[in-house]
Amino acid sequence: MNVAIHPNVKFAKGNEFALNVATGVITYLSNEHKKRILELKDGESRIEPIDISLLSNEVLIIKNHLENHKINLESKISDYLNNAAAICIMPTEKCNFRCTYCYESFEKGKMGENTINSIIKYIQKNAKLYNFFNLSWFGGEPLLQYQIIKRISQEFRNQQLLNKFTGSISVTTNGSLLTEEVVRELSDVDINLIQISIDGPPEIHDKQRITYNQKGTYHTILANMEYALRNSNSHFTLRINLDTTNSNNYKAVADWLEEDISKRFQEFGTRVEIRVVSIWNATNTSIEGICIQDEERLIKYLRVKSILSKTNNQFLEQYAQEVSQIGSLACYAGKPNHYIVGSDGTLYKCTVALKLEDNILGFIKENGDLSIDETKEAKWTKLNSLTDPQCNKCSFSQSCMGIHCPLTRMQTNSQPCPTHKKFIDSILAFEPYAHSH
Ligand code: SF4
Ligand code: SF4
């Protein structure tokens, strides 16, 4: 029986440890194991006693199992893509903020009665078809129309009870309108996740995330978020849009996270997740800069993240977890049965390029059916790790699925690999934990 290095395994510099990017298992290697890995990097070899623990941690694989491993992975990806649906609704495309990096045009206002009724019919028809069905709210600022959120979400929950699908409701909001009244009104529909952006301490946040009237928003948002945490069951993602081109910014944000935010939300435990995201140069027709970072910016980003994760080991574990979950790096725009509904009923795939012709798929009909240009839709959903040979043999196919950013794929005609893969060597060599073992 022959063994080989597992196709999903990546090694840190000097083979200090191995990470299986499909299982998230990190295996620190003894000197004997390192020697064995060096031998196997030259090709397969007969199984030896030293291989047993490496096989059980899936650092190695029995050569004859490789074909089965590939077939199982493909069927897992195919099930994931075909058994799930999601609808993301923009109840208004207007916003009370004018963030300095925002790419939206705020042209379309409140969703009309006809579109609301069509969406309710769409949910009723589709609820029985899928095991997983998610509803999300986006804008503009969706809470400007929280009554629409309440109405449609209520029907979603009714259908969930009837059809027993697994599904969650999430809202992406600037947080300024999450008042006592809104929290009370939305409590019946049980919002699972609320994503709010706070970009750093007041001196940074209030420069980037300003209201329509140029007012700062920091203190209102934090107070609203604390109120909602105490008076609902929702989980929160606190998104920090970090300007990684400015080295003073990332240091200030890192200190603020450590000294203020992590202490302030400590009592809420896992209900608050903090996510740092680099600000992209997105426009509404292209992705210049989106989803693609240069290495230097990445390292700054990692330094902020490492403070978040408190200890160096946890940082590596977080990365391992991020890359090993099925579909965790895949964008909804590349998944079948995932649609964005604009406030006028227009259907899109991507929430960024709202003016791009290929992204304007069609509209939702009065009876709840979707009128879709299938040629356009195929541009988003047909090229993935099941159909693109390069993605098919990639170790990140389970998490990325070749659809990390379908817009990047369309505009660059190449695989839209996530930062997690492109800079894996830098990530695994990231000095705090690379030197800690
Ligand atoms: S395709 Fe997805 S990842 Fe790419 S810009 Fe659009 S929403 Fe973002
Ligand atoms: S896009 Fe890149 S990372 Fe994603 S599956 Fe394809 S080759 Fe792998």
Average pLDDT over all residues of the chain: 86
Residue 159, both tokens: 């259908």
What is the average pLDDT across 316-326?
A: 87
**Residue nearest atom 6 of ligand 1, based on CA coordinates:** 350
Q: What confidence score (pLDDT) does residue 305 get?
A: 61
Say how many C-beta atoms besides its own lie within 10 A of residue 258's C-beta.
14
- Ligand 1 test: best mutation among 239, 291, 400, most atoms within 8 Å of CB? 291
Residues with CB under 6 A from ligand 2: 385, 390-391, 394, 396-397, 400, 402, 404, 415-418, 421
- CA 65 to centroid of ligand 2, rounded, Å: 23
Which atom of ligand 2 is the closest one to the Cα of 420? 3
Query: Is pLDDT of 388 > 50?
Result: yes
Note the ligand closest to the C-alpha atom of 8: 2
Q: What confidence score (pLDDT) does residue 396 get?
A: 95
Which atom of ligand 2 is the closest one to the Cα of 416? 1
Lowest mean pLDDT among 192-201, 334-343, 364-373: 192-201
Query: Is pLDDT of 21 > 90?
Result: yes
Which atom of ligand 2 is the closest one to the Cα of 385? 5
C-alpha distances in angstroms, 204 versus 128, 200, 216, 243, 391?
Answer: 46, 6, 10, 10, 39
Say how many C-beta atoms besides its own lie within 10 A of residue 311's C-beta.
12
What is the average pLDDT across 382-410?
A: 95
Q: Is 406 in the pocket of ligand 1 (CB under 6 A)?
A: yes
Q: Is 407 in the pocket of ligand 1 (CB under 6 A)?
A: yes
DSSP-derived 3-state class of residue 62:
strand
Domains and CATH numbers, the chain: 1-68 (no CATH), 77-379 (3.20.20.70)
What is the average pLDDT across 3-10?
A: 95
Percent of the chain predicted with pLDDT > 70: 84
Query: Is pLDDT of 401 > 50?
Result: yes
pLDDT band at 103 (very low <50, low <70, confident <90, very high): low
Tracing tokens 């650092």 back to the chain, one arrives at 59
Query: Is pLDDT of 197 > 80?
Result: yes
Q: Is 400 in the pocket of ligand 1 (CB under 6 A)?
A: no
